[in-house]
């Protein structure tokens, strides 16, 4: 008799909660999934990146640095879309580093510049030792002139980066160079 009484009580509770068999199955499945997710949270919080991934904060586009030698670059400014074409106004072709006897590091970049709009691009460089520690930075401007005679005119330009003086530059092993992203007007915009 006691078993019948408990069954009636449980049945009454289920009716009160309106839990028929399909709803109980959904509720049970949801509870199991939630418990599984809760057990994964500590693992997700302590998961480590792939051993092949570079450590956070490490520069990944470094180029080996050799003093006195021309090092090829393939860096161009962000593109400017106009009349179905994309124009890159600054192309960095090569760089040569020089460290003088006073520990002053300089670099000359050979660039191609396409006349399009009056805009000054910042050319930035950074040098690093073999462990990836940054030793110094430099910045120079590359001036692009507004020139449009029905076609593009490209000129050569030498851009000098002066990193200043540091005894640490004797350990320089790698570098990175970048071109700033600037707003550029098209000839249609500046001829209005």
- Mean of the per-residue pLDDT values of the chain: 78
Helical residues (DSSP H) of the chain, grouped into ranges: 2-17, 21-46, 187-190
Between 79 and 61, whose confidence is greater?
A: 79
Instruction: Say whether domain 63-190 belongs to CATH 3.40.50.300.
Output: no
Of the candidates 171, 161, 158, 173, the one whose C-alpha atom is nearest the C-alpha of residue 103 is: 171
Q: What's the pLDDT score for residue 183?
A: 87
Instruction: Examine the pLDDT at 2 and tell me if it is beyond 70.
Output: no
Instruction: Examine the pLDDT at 75 and tell me if it is beyond 90.
Output: yes
Q: What's the pLDDT score for residue 117?
A: 79
Alpha-carbon gap, residue 147 to 144, rounded angstroms: 9
Q: How many CA atoms lie within 13 A of 29 on its CB side?
A: 6
Place of tokens 């161009």: 76
Q: What's the pLDDT score for residue 43?
A: 47
- For 176, residues 6+ apart whose C-beta sits below 8 A from its C-beta are 59, 61, 62, 63, 125, 126, 128
Mean pLDDT of 126-130: 95
Q: What is the pLDDT of residues 91-125, one digit of tens each?
A: 999 999 999 999 999 999 999 988 877 889 999 99
Domain limits of the chain? 2-46, 63-190
Instruction: List Cα–Cα distances, 6 to 1, 12, 14, 28, in angstroms.
Output: 9, 10, 12, 21
Q: What's the pLDDT score for residue 82?
A: 82
CB 97 within 8 A of CB 109: no
Percent of the chain with pLDDT over 70: 64
Report the SS3 class of residue 72: strand
Per-residue DSSP letter, 6: H
Q: What's the pLDDT score for residue 107?
A: 97
Among the ranges given (13-17, 160-164, 185-189), the one the predictor scored with the smallest mean pLDDT: 13-17
Among the ranges given (47-61, 92-106, 121-135, 164-178), the one the predictor scored with the smallest mean pLDDT: 47-61
């Amino acid at each position: 008799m006691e078993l019948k009484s408990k069954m009636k009580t449980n049945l009454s509770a289920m009716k009160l909660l309106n839990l028929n068999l399909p709803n109980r199955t959904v509720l049970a499945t949801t509870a199991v999934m939630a418990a599984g997710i809760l057990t994964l949270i500590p693992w997700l919080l302590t998961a480590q990146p792939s051993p092949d991934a570079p450590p956070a904060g490490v520069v990944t586009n470094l180029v080996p640095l050799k003093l006195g030698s021309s090092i090829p670059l393939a860096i161009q400014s962000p593109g400017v879309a106009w009349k179905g074409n994309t124009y890159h106004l600054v192309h960095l072709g090569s760089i040569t580093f020089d460290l003088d006897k006073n520990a002053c590091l300089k670099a000359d970049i050979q660039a191609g510049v396409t006349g399009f709009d009056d805009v000054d691009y910042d050319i930035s460089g950074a040098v690093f030792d073999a462990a990836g520690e940054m030793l110094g930075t430099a910045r120079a401007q590359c001036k692009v002139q507004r020139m449009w005679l029905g076609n593009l005119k490209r000129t050569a330009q030498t851009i000098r980066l002066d990193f200043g003086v540091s005894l640490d530059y004797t350990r320089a092993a790698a570098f990175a160079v970048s071109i700033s992203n600037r707003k550029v007007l098209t000839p249609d915009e500046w001829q209005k």
